[in-house]
Structure 1
Amino acid sequence: MNTNQELILTGDRTTGQLHLGHYVGSLRSRVELQETYETYILLADVQALTTHYDQPELIANSVHQVTLDYLAVGIDPNKATLFIQSMIPEIAELTVIFSMFVTVNTLRHNPTIKTEARDRGYTDLYYGFLGYPVSQAADIAFCKATLIPAGEDQIPHVETARKLVRRFNELYVPVFPEPRILTGERLGGLDGVGKMSKSMGNAISLNATPDDVQTKLTKAKTDPARIHRSDPGHPDICPVYAYHELFRQNDITFMLPAVRER
């Protein structure tokens, strides 16, 4: 039995297959963390509605698909607790209570919400989309989680959770710990713009076939400063090189001669 006093909560919205960005940013660390910490992993089907409310079949199917992705990367149900968000009524109750402690302006100024709204072309935000950080705070509080492994874009959400938990503890009973975030690496998208994301169409799914990977990589953004094949490469600004370095470290010396070694 795990005796570590820290408790981890992590998870994903069930909006489709997970991709390499998920793996680099959080999945591989979850596999390691489950060996040391009490770990809860959330299949966030309710939060998937914030952007896919008109695709209920996708969300339902994705609960199964994401679970398979978790098992495939090495998450062990005997070491980590997997649960479906919609099956926990207490999360919905906490979401309502926490929503009383935060202003609409605060949510509108959340940088992650603003960025995603811009990327998706949202000009008029639905309440559910705007309130995503409140729902996430309820997930964290429900588990009494202390550590949240997530990408840097989740820092504003975890900070909101800290404030909501603190407010609840002050008003009522101090029962919820204030969570801390553990940030992971970020994998850039195939288009060289921002992080890898399904919604941006610049991702490689975890279950992609070799042919799918080859097709996507041949269209991927490479070194923008390398105009001719004879020009020296610039690994620091080449997205494809970043993939090579992450996934083929043992073969890193077998690069084309025109690519400069680090």
Structure 2
Amino acid sequence: MERILTGDRVTGKLHLGHYAGSLKKRVELQHQMETFLLLADVQALTTHFEDPDLVRKHLRLVALDYLAAGIDPEKAVLCVQSLIPEIAELTVFYSMFVTVSSLRHNPTTKSEAEQRGYDDLYYGFLGYPVSQAADITFCKATLVPVGDDQIPHIEQTRKIVRRFNSLYRPVFEEPRALVGHSRA
């Protein structure tokens, strides 16, 4: 059975667009695949680091939104990113062999930095694709539902997995993008 990882940065309450764009499909996928749903509170700090209390509040609200939308905790594993030390550990290991240049050239990162008016990037923001690779691999996900904008992150994850497997030993499968099921 395929294993998927999807989720949300907990930067605010979810809305109808989230439901139509991804939540409805996640509810269906939980019955077809082994499903992990990540409440990405650490990644929310990449753009909301000045207000961690707001991130904590949104963590609860997003979790409630998942349940209200039909996510079944008996079918899907809900994960709080900050409570999984392996994600932080993998992020550190992966960051040792990902170049700053490759992160700066990631089109999704560049686009979001421009939208937010960031001239000087914090490492947490720039390293988001590395953190996302750790999210995907900690649970050994084989598929990641994404929108087109997230494909560069999945490609970065695939490169990281190849590098890790070649340096150490084959541990992780290269995940594939399940396009059209965006991670909101």
- Which residue matches 2:45? 49
Q: Structure 2 vs 1, CA of residues 185 and 147 (structure 1 numbering), >3 Å: closer, same or farther?
A: closer
Gap regions ≥5 residues in structure 1: 187-196, 198-262
Instruction: Return the alpha-carbon distance in structure 2 between the equivalents of residues 185 and 137 of structure 1.
Output: 18
1:83-126 per-position Cα deviation (integer Å, ceiling 9, x unaligned): 10000111100000101121111100101101110110100000
- Please state whether the residue corresponding to 2:96 is helix, strand or coil: helix
Instruction: Return the alpha-carbon distance in structure 2 between the equivalents of residues 49 and 112 of structure 1.
Output: 17
1:200-253 per-position Cα deviation (integer Å, ceiling 9, x unaligned): xxxxxxxxxxxxxxxxxxxxxxxxxxxxxxxxxxxxxxxxxxxxxxxxxxxxxx
Q: Structure 2 vs 1, CA of residues 100 and 80 (structure 1 numbering), >3 Å: closer, same or farther?
A: same
Q: Structure 2 vs 1, CA of residues 85 and 126 (structure 1 numbering), >3 Å: closer, same or farther?
A: same
- Which residue matches 1:172? 168
- Which residue matches 2:115? 119
**One-letter amino acid of the structure 1 residue matched with residue 176 of structure 2:** R
- Which residue matches 1:73? 69
Structure 1 vs Structure 2 CA RMSD: 1.2
User: Which one has the bigger helix percentage?
Assistant: 2
- Please state whether the residue corresponding to 1:101 is helix, strand or coil: coil
Q: TM-score, normalised by structure 2?
A: 0.96
Q: TM-score, normalised by structure 1?
A: 0.68
Asked whether 1:162 is paired with 2:164, we answer: no
Pick one of 11, 25, 41 that aligns with 2:21: 25
In 1, are the aligned partners of 2:25 and 2:181 still within 8 Å (CA)?
Answer: no
The alpha carbon displacement at 1:21 in A equals: 2.8
Pick one of 134, 137, 159 that aligns with 1:138: 134
- Which residue matches 1:190? none
Q: Structure 2 vs 1, CA of residues 43 and 185 (structure 1 numbering), >3 Å: closer, same or farther?
A: closer
Counterparts in 2 of 1:1-262, with a 5 A limit? Answer: 4=1, 6-184=2-180
Instruction: Return the alpha-carbon distance in structure 1 between the equivalents of residues 20 and 176 of structure 2.
Output: 20
In 1, are the aligned partners of 2:145 and 2:181 still within 8 Å (CA)?
Answer: no
Instruction: Return the alpha-carbon distance in structure 2 between the equivalents of residues 26 and 151 of structure 1.
Output: 9
Instruction: Return the alpha-carbon distance in structure 2 between the equivalents of residues 38 and 71 of structure 1.
Output: 17
Structure showing greater Rg? 1
In 1, are the aligned partners of 2:146 and 2:181 still within 8 Å (CA)?
Answer: no
Instruction: Indicate the structure whose relative CO is greater, using CA pairs within 8 Å and at least 6 residues apart.
Output: 2
* Count of aligned pairs between the two proteins: 183
> 4+ runs of 1 displaced by more than 3 Å?
none
Identity of aligned residues (%): 70
The alpha carbon displacement at 1:24 in A equals: 2.5
In 2, are the aligned partners of 1:144 and 1:176 still within 8 Å (CA)?
Answer: yes
The alpha carbon displacement at 1:185 in A equals: 6.0
User: Which one has the bigger strand percentage?
Assistant: 2
Instruction: Return the alpha-carbon distance in structure 1 between the equivalents of residues 51 and 103 of structure 2.
Output: 25
Instruction: Return the alpha-carbon distance in structure 2 between the equivalents of residues 115 and 163 of structure 1.
Output: 21
